[in-house]
Structure 1
Amino acid sequence: MITGTCHCGAVRYEFRHSPSRTTSCNCSICRRLGTLWIYAPIADVTIDGPTRGYAHGDKNLAIHHCPTCGCVTHWENLHPEKPDAYMAVNLRLADPNVIASVPVRRFDGAETWTFLD
């Protein structure tokens, strides 16, 4: 299990999945946020604490942050009824040793929508 917390500690996550990689995306929002995403089925993730969501474009997901310190915590699938619905948490909120142990894949979310490696 991987746990993470925002800077002020108001929001915590538990990620009950073993990620094979983390994704660094260059889309218009991820490149600004500097997130590293790890993904799991919705049932394998618990978010505790207050968050605020932001949905843009096609509104398939909402990116959440702590309303106190502003740290981006996760993105939520806005269509959780789909059988393959996933969500992601920001691995940068985990312990630095955990972050270093998960390989990073670069994803071109800006143009080609493919991995760059």
Structure 2
Amino acid sequence: MITTSCHCGAVTIEFDDRPEFAVACNCSICRRLGSHWIYSQTSKIRILGETKAYAHGDKNIAFHSCPTCGCTTHWSNLNEPETGRMAVNVRLADPEISKSIPLRHFDGADSWTFLD
């Protein structure tokens, strides 16, 4: 299990899966957030604490942040909120954990393909 938390500790996420890799995306929001995403089904992720959601564009996903310290903790699938895929910001985990997961770069700004 991977546990992450925002800076102030008000939001904690338990990720009960083993990610093959993390993703650094260069789309308009991810490049600004600097997040590294790990993915799993919603049923394998537990969010403890309240977050503030933000959806933009086609509104398929909502980015969630701690309302106190502002850290972006995860994104949720608005089309399949109970059964769909979700992403957790692994940069909020202990640095030893996030360093141990291979990082892939994704071109979400243009080609919608991995760059490696």
TM-score bracket relative to the smaller structure: over 0.9
Q: Verify the 8 A CA contact 2:2 2:16 in the aligned structure 1.
A: yes
Aligned equivalent of 1:63: 63
Aligned equivalent of 1:111: 110
Q: Verify the 8 A CA contact 2:42 2:82 in the aligned structure 1.
A: no
Instruction: List per-residue Cα deviations over 1:83-110 (Å, max 9, x = no partner).
Output: 6x20000000100000010000000000
> Aligned AA for 2:108?
G
SS at match of 2:28: coil
Deviation at 1:82? 8.2
Q: Which residues of 2 match residues 1-117 of structure 1 at below 5 A?
A: 1-80=1-80, 85-117=84-116
Give the gaps of 5 or more residues in structure 2.
Answer: none
SS at match of 2:57: coil
User: Identical aligned pairs, as a percentage?
Assistant: 59
RMSD over aligned CA atoms reads: 1.1
Mark the CA change 1:3 to 1:114 in structure 2 (over 3 Å): closer, same or farther: same
> Aligned AA for 1:41?
Q
> Aligned AA for 1:63?
F
SS at match of 1:115: coil
Total equivalences in the alignment: 116
TM-score in terms of structure 2 length: 0.97
Mark the CA change 1:82 to 1:74 in structure 2 (over 3 Å): closer, same or farther: closer
User: For residues 28 and 42 of structure 1, what CA distance do their matches in structure 2 show?
Assistant: 24
Give the gaps of 5 or more residues in structure 1.
Answer: none
SS at match of 2:99: helix
Deviation at 1:81? 6.0
User: For residues 24 and 57 of structure 2, what CA distance do their matches in structure 1 show?
Assistant: 20
Deviation at 1:79? 1.4
SS at match of 1:13: strand
